[in-house]
Chain A
Amino acid sequence: MQSSVRQMIKDKKEKNQSRAKFMEKLVPGLLLLCAIISVLTTLGIVFTLIVETITFFNRVSIIEFFTNKDWYPFFGDNPDYGIWPLISGTLMITGIAMLVAIPLGLAAAIYLSEYASDSVRRIIKPILEVLAGIPTIVYGFFALTFVTPVLQNIIPSLPIFNALSPGIVVGIMIIPMVASLSEDAMSSVPNAIREGALGLGATRFEVAVKVVLPAALSGIIASFVLAISRAIGETMIVTVAGGATPKLTLDVTESIQTMTSYIVQVSLGDAGYGTTIYYSIYAVGMTLFLFTLIMNLIAQYISRRFREEY
């Protein structure tokens, strides 16, 4: 019996040898191709962005782009192309969002990793992750039709389109991201370290804040930075509820425009192919891309640099 099995294996091998060899060579090639597609796409996007951005800067000087304080591209004969109003709108939304998301997300993470029982965690974590799966357009309408009226009750002078409402809602949207990633970082701190602190008479809160939080700091900060980058790139919520008034302001009750919502506005509008306005969205897109790229690089650097070995 033994020898016959051996024989069967040998026969099979000989029969399939050429095909097996071919597959062995083909499979890595196919897999490589799949891997390359995403790299090529990224390169393609960056390439398009750069080429069109250069076209734009041939028509509008880069100095004006960064020094002009007005962004009025639709002003017929005398348009203004100063990026700052769009940047300030974007940063204001991001700032409000982080003010909402960091405390709430971190508190949720501390609760989930340090206090919640297994059964509670098993219920809450999936719900948090559902929150992350809601389409952003839904959040946009939530901001416009629920949050803004509520805020108007508190601040009667608040216009329908303002920075505050979408900022808060973007914050709510990224809470799950902060909570989930921070919770992962805190849960991976070994229990032995918690026991060590509890054994010294520390309360659970002291353990959470003075031992677990510092030990998980790199992961927590990385979650903040990723959340910031997500807030910068957020489009639908700010387009629906933030208005379309590019304004260099720090007043959260005013209508503003972010980089993303400007791109949406132009893409949907009737700016013809080849016009300066058409090319301007690439310059704005490039600026946006640089912002999020820098944020992601910072996140990577932080999680490598501040990793506490335990």
Chain B
Amino acid sequence: MKTPDSYGSYGSYGSYGSYGSYADYATGEPIADAKAPTGPIAERWDTRRFEAKLVNPANRRKHTVIVVGTGLAGGSAGATLAEQGYHVVQFCYQDSPRRAHSIAAQGGINAAKNYRNDGDSVHRLFYDTVKGGDFRARESNVHRLAQISVEIIDQCVAQGVPFAREYGGLLDTRSFGGVQVSRTFYARGQTGQQLLLGAYQALSRQIAAGNVELHPRTEMLDVIVVDGRARGIVARDLITGKIETYFADAVVLASGGYGNVFYLSTNAMNSNATAVWRAHRRGAYFANPCFTQIHPTCIPRTGDHQSKLTLMSESLRNDGRIWVPKAKGDDRPPNKIPEDERDYYLERVYPSFGNLVPRDIASRAAKNVCDEGRGVGPGGQGVYLDFADAIQRMGRKAVEAKYGNLFDMYARITDEDPYSVPMRIYPAVHYTMGGLWVDYDLQTTVPGLFAVGEANFSDHGANRLGASALMQGLADGYFVLPSTINDYLARNPLGDEVDAGHPVVREVLDETEGRIARLLAVDGDRTPDSFHRELGEVMWEFCGMARTEEGLRKALDRIPQIREEFWRRIKVPGVGEEFNQSLEKANRIVDYLELAELMCLDALHRAESCGGHFREESQTPDGEAERRDEQFSYAAAWEFTGTGEAPTLHKEDLVFEYVHPTQRSYA
């Protein structure tokens, strides 16, 4: 480990050493989930709730819980904890809790209500989710998720969430993502927005009642761990730039996923990994960081100015046909390419599923044809999604009724009329299944530090099913965490009061302030965005849809170099004690530059293909992902040892008692 200059005194900050060889990352003790009860899976959640200790209602007010983030998981957790009587101190970087990125989810939320009488059940949702996650999720957690899914719908309806209804006044559902039952509840294409507003309103009610102390435009920059327990956070007021400490009896991270490591993703511009990465540096293990989901139907980028990507509902694949020209570099307009010179590659390769193959297969196939030089549009990074046949078959009216708003969105962004010219689509990073390792109680390896929603790794395994993200966020926030956190608080009586004068607190604060000071002091010649873009390109190229040992090693060489250059050439204008968006951005990139390395290492060590993680070395003769259960049926929980130091791997063995692993096949 090199220490570049005098700033090295701020912990391990600013070091940018590089891994020598990946063969020798350390493997530590296996890790196990000690909280999930044994016994029949359907009874485990009840058992756990019964075994958990409770906090006397009269004492709850004396407990302060910090919640970071106000999305579906954080908003619902904050509201529910406050309803129970806890004193909640909540943070979001946005100007209002209502803007958390859960708001952008379009499709819907799954629940095993079986309102359609089509054979759905809790067990079937459990089964589909474990299988969809390609057997890399924990059975106990997934079953609990399926059980709770039912209560979520009840809760949201009671809050006034305007789900789509039928003429009889009952809730409408649809089938989603190739699932054979109709279990997805939705509110047009804005389900995430409506569910988030429900949670936001519940939270608002608690803010008004004085039970939640909200700090908007305040970004968490570190966790305070005293005597092995999470006791608070360090956060920066984004308006004044003041860095302050906040103390609590437990800290809940609901800060979302880390898709923005890739620079271009469907995440919001300011979604970031700082909270989880800081927690990781303070001792929380990070699990399965390489499991990222890439969504096949996004609008392609138009040039280097592109700042983010926009997703279009994958329902488009129900009627649209995907193709590219047969010849390389064929730059005729699509309407001029005759039928026999088009390659409907999904229909050709996967005759039984055709255009409806799962997300990862569709994404990878698009990448392959583009890599062959047959991609269309600017930079050859796109494939056609053609509705000409659908319009002919169903009539323009019917297509308009079904997809009108998506077509409008596409037309607005691209200025092309999708009714007359085929749409162009390309895959984009969409969701990260990996996250902080948590036990059945959603507690990380740091006692008192919990992680909910996309910030944890728990329920989706290696691949998330459509309409399951909203379900998990709300299950964690409304129902799981408020039950399990009781147990922690009840078993850990209030310890010594921690305040700003505590030496540990002083140290954490100094480190944070030092990092900010250092970012401002470099005064180099490159903007934060230029580094973020460069990192994103490396990640997309080598840790994107298809990964190889060779590529990952290249990335692992490259990332420390970028990190070193970052600390040498970054330019952040202005000062720390003001509203400074460049500083916010640069500070987030610091963490991306470390997390990216762990993602690549995790991808490298997992020499199998599963779910969203495709290793080219591990595929069946016909090019399908090949899982290697004997070697990799575990969750990889990484322990931080220092920037640029080889982390320690702790394996959590996955046991499948109810759903037996099978190799999926879509050919």
- A, B in one complex: no
